């Protein structure tokens, strides 16, 4: 029976090349970790999915009803270089059987195009891979002579790929570029300083895609909306790229720290001082979590505190390794990645709270002057802030936001004059018993003011996190009082 006939879809997973050049022990560990990660991720979609591990690949077979979701998760899982979709035929032992099956599946691919056949063979057969390629290519040319432009072994428009593993034939129908990197769980853990903007989210994505278990820390400079927004982005990144492992987000109240900076620090050193104190606090949290490194989204000379001299001064405040994967990237490059991974709209609509704005900020700080300024600061304020830090699991953020969110949550639509607004960025819209509008969250600020304000509006999203964020933001910035959250 074939996977085609059984109404299932087969995926062949090819590993990130850097995995395959590792030593035997390291390679085995990484493949085992990826296998374990895929079990956790894909079984959450369907328990009927089959995952089989080999020394050079992993094969996944799922029911066709779960193909789209399974494919998407495979493309977002670190450690995977290629995702091949294949049609499987069993008990194939002759070239005649191979060429007929391949032509059955791939004939449409070569219509109006040049092609060649690539074959990979494993097992003891009375023929070699070149024999398969010649016979299949010749047969497909003969069967489709009036439709195809012919064989071109040098620069074909279509490559017909197949694998014969003993008596199992896999005909490759689609090829997808994977995320690459190493499997999460093989490269240790890091603590990412998250503001929710372009830089910190892209930096976090880059460490996740490299296989680093990325936890988050947020310094609240004032505002529930900002905290909810950062937690929403952290949840989004984890949900998209990191669900194989549980991670946390820690929130540290930093309003009093900012006040102390204003009271004790020369204005030209305020920005650098704030960054130093964030690293110091992050180091303490990382020590508790037994994490060896910190992550920031800083890019050289993007702002005054990010010159090489100032970054060096900032790093003196802690003993942890600080990774800055964006250090040599331009802002357009960073924004392009944010757009690709889906965090652009979150960053653009994130409420901003500038806790420290220096007049005439120093761009080439003095080590001696920084030492003098640091002695003026009352570190008991920092101690208290760290003491009041709150850590939650990222997968439980929806419950956390429900507690800290200040907007009422409505489940029954029959008891009021409501209009539901679906603020998800997807095209689909929830169906309800009342008037329902579709306004993606990134258009809310512009579009909401156009609506009649004599009724109550209920914001809807999957978890209620975006709804709390943007409802709170509109309430704080525009003084709207007719916004609530809809959770059916």
List binding-site positions. Answer: 193-194, 275, 297, 306
In a 13 Å sphere around the CA of 477, the CA atoms on its Cβ side amount to: 20
Structure tokens at 466: 């975006």
Residue 364's alpha-carbon distances to 143, 262, 310, 317, in angstroms, are 73, 20, 6, 17
Q: List strands edge to edge, sheet with 50-53.
A: 50-53, 57-63, 8-15, 80-89, 168-180, 158-165, 114-122, 150-151
Structure tokens at 363: 């761009």
- Alpha-carbon distance of 279 to 273, in angstroms, equals 10
Q: Are 472 and 224 in contact (CB under 8 A)?
A: yes
Rounded (10°) angle between helices 129-143 and 95-106:
50
Taking every pair of Cα atoms in the chain, the longest distance, rounded to a whole number of angstroms, is 85
Catalytic residue check, 62: no
| Catalytic residue from among 62, 318, 354, 461 | 461
Binding-site residue set for ATP: 193-194, 275, 297, 306
**CA-closest candidate to residue 194, choices 397, 373, 440:** 397
Classify burial at 5, counting beta carbons within 10 Å of its beta carbon; exposed 0-12, middle 13-18, buried 19 or more: exposed
Structure tokens at 134: 């010649």
Structure tokens at 274: 């704030």
> At a CB cut-off of 8 Å and minimum separation 6, what does 428 contact?
none
- Say whether 402 sits in a helix, a strand or coil: helix
Beta strands in 254-351 (DSSP E): 293-295, 321-323
DSSP letters spanning 194-249:
--SSHHHHHHHHHHHHTT-EEEEEEEE-S-HHHHHHHHHHHHHHHHHH-TTS--EE
- Alpha-carbon distance of 177 to 467, in angstroms, equals 34
- Alpha-carbon distance of 136 to 272, in angstroms, equals 66
Beta strands in 33-134 (DSSP E): 50-53, 57-63, 80-89, 114-122
Q: Which residues are catalytic?
A: 461
């Amino acid at each position: 029976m074939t996977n085609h006939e059984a109404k299932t879809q087969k995926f062949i997973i090819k590993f990130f090349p850097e995995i395959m050049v590792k030593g035997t022990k390291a390679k085995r560990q990484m493949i085992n970790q990826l296998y374990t990660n895929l079990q956790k991720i894909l079984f959450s979609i369907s328990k009927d999915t089959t995952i089989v591990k080999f020394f050079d690949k992993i094969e996944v077979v799922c029911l066709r009803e779960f193909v789209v979701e399974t494919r998407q998760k495979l493309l977002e899982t670190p450690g995977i270089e290629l995702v091949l979709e294949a049609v499987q035929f069993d008990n194939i032992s002759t070239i005649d059987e191979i060429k007929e099956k391949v032509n059955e599946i791939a004939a449409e691919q070569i219509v109006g195009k040049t092609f060649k056949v690539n074959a990979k063979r494993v097992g003891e057969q009375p023929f070699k891979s070149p024999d398969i390629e010649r016979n299949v290519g010749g047969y497909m040319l003969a069967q489709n002579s009036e439709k195809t432009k012919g064989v071109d072994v040098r620069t074909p428009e279509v490559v017909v790929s197949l694998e014969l593993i003993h008596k199992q034939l896999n005909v490759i129908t689609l090829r997808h570029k994977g995320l690459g990197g190493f499997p999460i769980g093989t490269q240790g853990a890091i603590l990412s300083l998250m503001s929710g903007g372009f830089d910190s989210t892209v930096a976090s994505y880059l460490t996740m895609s490299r296989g680093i278990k990325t936890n988050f820390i947020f310094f609240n400079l004032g505002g529930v909306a900002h905290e909810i927004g950062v937690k929403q982005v952290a949840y989004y990144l984890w949900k998209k790229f990191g669900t194989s492992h549980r991670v946390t987000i820690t929130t540290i109240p930093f309003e009093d720290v900012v006040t102390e900076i204003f009271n004790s620090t020369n204005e030209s050193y305020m920005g650098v001082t704030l960054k130093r104190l964030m690293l110091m606090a992050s180091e303490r949290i990382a020590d508790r979590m037994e994490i060896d490194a910190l992550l920031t989204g800083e890019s050289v000379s993007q702002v005054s505190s990010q010159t090489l001299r100032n970054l060096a001064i900032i790093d003196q405040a802690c003993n942890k390794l600080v990774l800055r994967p964006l250090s040599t990237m331009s802002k357009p490059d960073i924004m392009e990645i944010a757009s690709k991974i889906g965090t652009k709209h979150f960053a653009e609509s994130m409420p901003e709270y500038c806790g420290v704005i220096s007049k005439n900020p120093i761009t080439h700080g003095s080590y001696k002057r920084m030492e003098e300024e640091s002695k003026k600061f009352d570190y008991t304020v920092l101690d208290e802030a760290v003491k009041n830090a709150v850590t939650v699991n990222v997968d439980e953020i929806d419950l956390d936001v429900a507690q800290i969110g200040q907007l009422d949550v409505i489940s029954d639509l029959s008891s009021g004059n409501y209009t539901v607004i679906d603020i998800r960025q997807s095209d689909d819209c929830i169906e309800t018993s009342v008037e329902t509008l579709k306004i993606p969250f990134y258009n809310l600020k512009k579009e909401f003011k156009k609506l009649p304000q004599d009724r109550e509006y209920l914001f809807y999203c999957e978890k209620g996190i975006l709804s709390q964020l943007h409802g709170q933001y509109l309430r704080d910035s525009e003084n709207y009082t007719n916004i609530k959250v809809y959770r059916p």
